[in-house]
């Protein structure tokens, strides 16, 4: 066979005369994007993605249909090719009607594959569920208990009746896995010899440590407190997160080879410079441990505590003297933790002072409800004006009565004082839970924002110091929920890994196809009530720190997971269309217009066809004819209205289709789904 030489993307390739450019490229490890080529099928050239530009050639060529000639110099990455490919992809995606990823996953800060692990739970495979969860969250049993689950507010099941209980299902699977004889354990890559120092052992630090260790780096975590866990350990009450659960998950991370050093305070026991000089990269995840000021007279009095200080002391077993009457200022989850903890510490009258109404309170509604059940009294539309003392100790708090005015920048109506309207409340202790701040002690060398937080690049978490990264509550916008810290730690770990390996830290936001779904579109779904987890009686739980939640039963968890609508595409991880759509930035919205008719059908018996995801590559039609020899599928209509539909002539055809499935095997998108 006569051989020829062809240069593709700068690589000289030997090939047999008569071969196509696409085949030669593939044989030499060069990927030229394509959606309609398969070696078992005749050449077709429908998608327009496999374009190449040749030296001295005026027109772009389709690599799948172009037979190479000796001496050709070709490229699939020239500006002209990229522009044409981008337009082709934008045209395809502008007519695409389907979800790449379920909305719950898109709205999880860590972008966990929620659909994937719910399916595993539904199938009774908790270890597989944990494997999927731990791709993004290394401490699922802990996070499943405390996460305010922003994913659930975007669950499409809410359009049918109620969203799935995603967070509790995560905890259920993780608990079962931890209790098993062989809990899931990821495998670390070979050692890179690179050293990473992490300052702070909270959710962000533990997360980054886990993924950097899996990448083969030596990781040391420095923690100022006696135990790892950060705010999960010292800021979340035992009744919400049993510390034995957290300890098991921390131990699992340590067993991977992560070195953990407790009771080491930077700036006191070791200097930042010493840590930096002993590592190839440093990640700062120290959290926000300083309570925000109430900015009212009397804050300096004995008996005024910050919420995080109060919770930390209780979690360490040092229950402070708080007296019979306690006022907690704030409306967030920390305020709920503080007021419910005060009840358990023996306070007889516990008040929550919040300047807005219950509707505006950022705390989870269930936390407010359970606090009320435990005897906490909420004083909405009140704000501390002065803390009154006697002999240097808190005696009472003077409250300004508030009313809601015009909306502020956040969209919430701004609370404004009612002139001359006050009330006085006799209290022994005032606990301020209105916010947390980063305390830079020992880390003053790192640049900060105007808000006093660490300035870190949002795409890479890199600070103004070479090789020093930062993530979590100490950075940029400040304190948030634990899953946000974990999400940032994922970004930091990826960036640090790239930095250590000398790779570019360029991580563009991925493009996903998203579908607009209405309640009317789900009207045919059977209504199934959300599983309700039982809780301990309020009269019992207010006197101890036992876990409030009793957990799901096996039957509850499996049935709840089965309520998942499986919104995301079943073929997402193997979809060539979305893969190529993310090669370079695309903007299909600029070509938005009329779309093909979208429908699903199951006339292929064991295959579901989703016309909304079909790109008319004709691969299924050709596979049916050329491989199966059946011609069951065909193009119907003309021009833009063209769709692919099956035509059955008798029951024997249905039987043939049932056992074949060749069309689904060659489909480059998720348009064809094998059922069962």
- Lowest-pLDDT range of 213-227, 317-331, 511-525, 584-598: 584-598
pLDDT at 660: 86
CA distance 358 to 497: 44
Helix (H) or strand (E) holding 607, with range, is strand 607-610
Model confidence over 209-219: pLDDT tens digits?
999 999 999 99
Q: Per CATH, which fold does 596-674 belong to?
A: Alpha-Beta Plaits (3.30.70)
pLDDT at 186: 97
Assigned CATH for 3-94: 3.10.20.740
| Domains of the chain, residue spans | 3-94, 292-436, 596-674
Which residue has tokens 């905890």? 171
pLDDT at 650: 64
Model confidence over 397-417: pLDDT tens digits?
999 999 999 888 778 789 999
Decide which of 252 and 516 is more confident: 252
Q: What is the mean pLDDT of residues 548-567?
A: 97
Spatial contact of 499 and 279, defined as CB atoms under 8 Å apart: no
The pTM (predicted TM-score) of the whole model is 0.93
Look at residues 526, 530, 556, 564 and name the one whose alpha carbon lies nearest to residue 120: 564
Q: Confirm or reject CATH 3.40.630.180 for domain 292-436, answering yes or no.
A: no
For 198, which DSSP code?
E
**DSSP readout, 6-48?**
EEETTEEEEEETT-BHHHHHHHTT-----SS--TTS-----S-
pLDDT at 207: 98
Q: What is the mean pLDDT of residues 172-201?
A: 97
Helix (H) or strand (E) holding 290, with range, is strand 290-291
pLDDT at 412: 78
Inform me whether the pLDDT recorded for 508 exceeds 90. no
Spatial contact of 628 and 586, defined as CB atoms under 8 Å apart: no
Would you say the C-alpha torsion 552, 556, 558, 562 has a positive or negative sign? negative
Model confidence over 351-392: pLDDT tens digits?
999 999 999 999 999 999 999 999 999 999 999 999 999 999
């Amino acid at each position: 066979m006569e051989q020829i030489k062809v240069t593709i993307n700068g690589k000289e390739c030997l090939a047999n005369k008569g071969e196509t450019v696409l085949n030669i490229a593939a044989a030499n490890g060069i990927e030229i994007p394509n959606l309609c080529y398969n070696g078992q099928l005749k050449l077709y050239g429908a998608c327009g993605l496999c374009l190449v530009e040749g030296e001295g050639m005026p027109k772009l060529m389709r690599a799948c249909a172009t037979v190479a000639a000796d001496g050709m110099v070709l490229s699939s990455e020239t500006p002209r090719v990229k522009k044409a490919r981008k337009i082709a992809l934008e045209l395809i995606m502008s007519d695409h009607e389907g979800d790449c990823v379920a909305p719950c996953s898109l709205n999880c800060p860590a972008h966990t594959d929620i659909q994937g692990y719910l399916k595993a739970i539904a199938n009774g495979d908790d270890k597989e569920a944990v494997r999927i969860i731990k791709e993004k969250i290394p401490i699922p049993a802990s996070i499943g208990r405390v996460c305010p689950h922003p994913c659930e507010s975007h669950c499409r099941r809410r359009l049918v009746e109620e969203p799935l209980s995603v967070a509790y299902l995560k905890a259920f699977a993780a608990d079962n896995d931890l209790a098993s004889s062989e809990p899931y354990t990821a495998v670390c890559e070979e050692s890179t010899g690179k050293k990473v120092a992490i300052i702070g052992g909270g959710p962000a630090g533990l997360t980054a440590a886990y993924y950097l260790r899996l990448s083969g780096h030596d990781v040391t975590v420095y923690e100022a407190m006696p135990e790892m866990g950060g705010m999960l350990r010292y800021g979340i009450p035992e009744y919400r997160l049993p510390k034995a659960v957290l300890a098991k998950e921390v131990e699992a991370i340590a067993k991977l080879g992560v070195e953990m050093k407790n009771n080491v305070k930077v700036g006191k026991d070791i200097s930042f410079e010493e840590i930096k000089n002993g590592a190839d990269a440093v990640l700062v995840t120290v959290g926000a441990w300083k309570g925000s000021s109430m900015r009212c007279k009397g804050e300096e009095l004995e008996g005024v505590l910050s919420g995080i200080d109060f919770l930390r002391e209780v979690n360490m077993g040092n229950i402070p003297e708080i007296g019979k009457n306690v006022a907690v200022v704030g409306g967030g989850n920390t305020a709920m933790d503080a007021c419910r903890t005060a009840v358990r510490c023996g306070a007889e009258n516990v008040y929550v002072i919040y300047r807005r109404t219950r509707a505006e309170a950022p705390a989870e509604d269930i936390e407010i409800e359970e606090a009320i059940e435990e005897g906490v009294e909420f004083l909405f539309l009140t704000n501390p004006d002065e803390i009154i003392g006697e002999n240097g100790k808190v005696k009472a708090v003077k409250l300004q009565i508030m009313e809601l005015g015009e909306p502020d920048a956040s969209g919430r109506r701004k609370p404004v004082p009612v002139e001359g309207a006050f009330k006085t409340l006799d209290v022994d202790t005032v606990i301020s839970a209105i916010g947390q701040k980063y305390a830079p002690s020992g880390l003053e060398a790192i640049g900060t924002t105007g808000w006093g937080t660490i300035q870190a690049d949002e795409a890479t978490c890199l600070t103004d110091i070479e090789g020093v990264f930062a993530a979590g509550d100490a950075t940029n916008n400040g304190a948030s929920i634990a899953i946000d810290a974990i999400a940032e730690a994922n970004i930091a770990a990826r960036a640090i890994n790239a930095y250590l390996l000398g790779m570019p830290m360029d991580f563009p936001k991925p493009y996903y196809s998203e579908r607009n779904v209405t309640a009317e579109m789900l009207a045919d779904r059977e209504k199934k009530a959300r599983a309700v987890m039982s809780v301990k009686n309020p009269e019992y739980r207010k006197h101890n720190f036992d876990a409030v939640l009793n957990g799901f039963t096996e039957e509850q968890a499996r049935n709840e997971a089965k309520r998942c609508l499986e919104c995301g595409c079943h073929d997402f991880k193997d979809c060539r269309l979305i893969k190529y759509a993310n090669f370079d930035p695309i903007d299909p919205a600029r070509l938005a217009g009329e779309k093909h008719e979208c429908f699903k059908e199951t006339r292929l018996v064991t295959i579901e066809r989703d016309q909304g995801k079909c790109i008319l590559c004709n691969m299924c039609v050709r596979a049916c004819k050329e491989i199966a020899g059946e011609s069951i599928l065909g193009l119907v209509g003309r021009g833009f209205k063209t769709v692919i539909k099956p035509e059955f002539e008798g029951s024997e055809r249905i039987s043939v289709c049932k056992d074949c499935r060749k069309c689904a095997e060659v489909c480059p998108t998720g348009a064809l789904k094998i059922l069962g």
